[in-house]
Amino acid sequence: MHAKWLTATLASAALLGGATLIPGSAQAAGSVQWLAPPDGSTYLVGTNVKPDGNADGFGQPGTGLDLMLVLDASGSMTIINTAGGVTKTRLAWQADAAKALVNSLPATNTSVGVVQYETNASLRLPLTSTANTATINAAIDAVPATGWTGTGLGIELAQAQFALDGTPGRVKQMVVISDGDPNRPLPAASAQQYAVDAAAAAKAAGITVHGVVIPGGNAANMEAIANAGGGKFANFSNPADLADIEAFFSGAAGSFVGVDQVDLELPDGTILTNVATDAFGNFHLPSDWTMLLGDNVFTATAFFEDGSEATAQLTLVGVADPAEVPVPATAWLLLGGLAMVGWMRRRSL
C-alpha cells in the first residue's frame, strides 16, 4: 500500500500526519470470494474467460454492492481550496472524488445512489446500476451548495433508500462526506449526536457507514460517525491532502473496506501480485485466460490492513467436446419457444 495511507488505532490517530484512514470499531475478519463466473462452470477449450471477485476486510461477502453517496450540499462547499497546484471549490473536490469512485466500480452487480444534505436531505438519484455511469455522475454534478449541515438527515434518507430499492444479497454501504459540523436538525447543539445515532441505526440495519472529512470539517465528529456506522474514517481535513483524494476514492491509493493487496494465481501457476482493486475491493483478471483441458483453478489471496489474509479458489472446467458445454437456461427457453411455434404452425395446416 502507498505509504501515505496509514491504518491507525484511535489512540494514535492524533499523532499521524497527512491524510489518514482509520478502521471502524466493527472491522471483522476479512473475506475474499469469486463472483463470476460460477464455480464449476464449463467452457470449450480455447474459450477466453476473465473471472472477477471481491475482497472485504469487514468480512461481508455478498452478490455485489449497493452504495449510497451522502454528499454535503451546505453553503460552505463554495469555499475554494488549493492542493497539488489545483484550485477549485470544496463542492468540486467532493464531486470529482465521488465520480472517481463511480468510474472505478464494476459495471455489473453494483448500484449507486446519491443523497444530498444541507438544511434538509433530499434524494438526488435512487440506486442505479453502474452500467449507467453517466447518469450517476450527472447526479453528483447536480448537487448544489446551499443551506446548513444536516448530516444525520442525509444518513437517515440513505438508509431508507436501501429499503426501497436495494438488491437482496448485496453488501450495503454508504460514504458520507462533510466539510463542517452537523447543525441540523435543530437544536443545533444535538445535531452531532443525531448524526452518530443515525449511523448506529444504519449499522444495526446491516449497512456500513464510512465517513470522509474535507477541509472545514471536524475530524473528530466524522470519525465518531464512522465508528458508530462500523465503517472507515478518511481524514482529508488538511487542504494539501485533497491532492490525493481522487486516488483514494478510485482505489489506487486506499480502500474503504480494509484491503491492502490482492494476489491471483493462474491455473498454470503464474502469480499476479497486487492486482488492481477499487475502493470496495472489487478485482478481476488483468487479461483474458484461455481455457485449458480439465480443471482450470484460479486462486485469490487477499491481504488486509489488520494483518490478516483470506484465500478463495475458483474452478472452471475446460472440455474438448462442445456437447459437454451446458446450454444456458435462456437458450433452452428460446429453443422451447421455437418448438412451440413449429407445433402451432403444424396444427394450423
CATH code for the domain in which residue 239 is found:
3.40.50.410
Percentage of the chain with pLDDT > 70? Answer: 86
Residue 98 within a domain: yes
pLDDT one-digit tens code per residue, 236-248: 999 999 999 999 9
Rounded to a whole number, what is the distance in angstroms from the first to the last CA of the chain? Answer: 72
Q: Domain count for the chain, please give it.
A: 1
The residue type of 275 is: V
Residue 307 within a domain: no
Q: Return d(Cα 251, Cα 230) in angstroms, integer.
A: 20
Residue 86 within a domain: yes
Residue 234 within a domain: yes
Residue 139 within a domain: yes
Domain containing residue 98:
13-26+62-250
pLDDT one-digit tens code per residue, 73-87: 999 999 999 999 999
pLDDT at res. 20: 58
Crossing angle between the packed helical segments 191-204 and 151-165, to the nearest 10 degrees: 20
Residue 317 within a domain: no
pLDDT one-digit tens code per residue, 255-303: 999 999 999 999 999 999 999 999 999 999 999 999 999 999 999 999 9
- Tell me the pLDDT of the chain averaged across its residues: 88
Residue 2 within a domain: no
Written as nine digits, the cell of 311 is: 484465500
pLDDT one-digit tens code per residue, 302-349: 999 999 999 999 999 999 999 999 976 334 334 344 443 343 444 444
Residue showing cell 487542504? 239
Residue 272 within a domain: no
